């Protein structure tokens, strides 16, 4: 029996089988990268939102999966045949200057909109991950100009984590989270010549954890 939950679970399972995130599967199928985000599976009033038959046809064409294979995933059966070999995982890529310009993120700091480049990662990336490319020397000695930081908005952020923070004024920075209170956060610069920053919580648009960097 088809159900809203089983159809979306099958899309997630198909993405995993072909070594893709849900957003990576959407991009490979020529859809908006946010088309299969969990936030898109319910409408604003809480009603179930179903993927279109066109979207399903495109993801099967993009992966080479058959209709029978997809229906087996809907039914929760593993299906025959091995998964294809691992491929590099492509995630959206922006420069820090672009990230500050606006229009590339939703309210929670997940990638949205158009104009993203893509970069392949040597390791598996969580759904919603994206890459920011360091520009300039403000993040020395840890991060150099041209380094790529992988950011996961859904990852929990704790004291001592390396984070990317975007303020409501459009400033984007990579720092170490030193302290967090209901009223403000305290950020230590990766470059010792830069002062400690205290930013009121009301001025923070989003904060996301850095999980990996190319160096």
Token pair in block for residue 139: 């993040």
Q: pTM for the complete prediction? A: 0.55
Q: Matching CATH topology for 4-74 and 89-213?
A: no
In order along its 215 residues, the chain shows pLDDT tens digits of 678 899 999 899 888 887 788 888 888 888 888 889 888 888 888 889 999 989 998 888 888 888 888 888 888 765 554 444 445 567 888 877 777 777 778 777 777 766 778 777 655 566 778 888 887 776 777 788 888 888 888 888 999 899 989 899 888 888 899 999 999 999 988 777 888 999 999 999 989 998 888 75
Domain locations along the chain: 4-74, 89-213
Class of domain 4-74: mainly alpha
Which tokens hold the place of 204?
């923070």
Q: What CATH architecture is 89-213?
A: Ribbon (2.10)
């Amino acid at each position: 029996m088809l159900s809203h939950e089983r159809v979306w679970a099958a899309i997630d399972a198909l993405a995993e089988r072909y070594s893709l995130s849900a957003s990576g599967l959407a991009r490979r199928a020529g859809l908006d990268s946010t088309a299969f985000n969990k936030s898109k599976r319910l409408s604003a009033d809480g009603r179930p939102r179903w993927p279109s038959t066109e979207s399903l046809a495109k993801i099967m064409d993009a992966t080479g999966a058959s209709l029978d294979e997809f229906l087996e995933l809907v039914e929760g059966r593993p299906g025959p045949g091995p998964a294809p070999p691992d491929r590099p995982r492509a995630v959206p890529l922006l420069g820090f200057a672009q990230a500050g310009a606006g229009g590339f993120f939703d309210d929670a700091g997940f990638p949205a909109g158009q104009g993203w480049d893509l970069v392949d990662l040597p390791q598996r990336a969580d759904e919603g991950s994206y890459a920011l490319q360091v520009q300039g020397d403000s993040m020395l000695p840890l991060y150099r100009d041209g380094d790529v930081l992988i950011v996961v908005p859904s990852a929990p952020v704790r004291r001592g984590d390396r984070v990317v923070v975007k303020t409501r004024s459009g400033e984007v920075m990579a720092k170490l989270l030193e302290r967090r209170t209901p009223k403000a956060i305290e950020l230590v610069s990766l470059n010792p010549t830069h002062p400690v920053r205290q930013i009121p919580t009301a001025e923070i648009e989003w904060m996301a954890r850095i999980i990996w960097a190319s160096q």
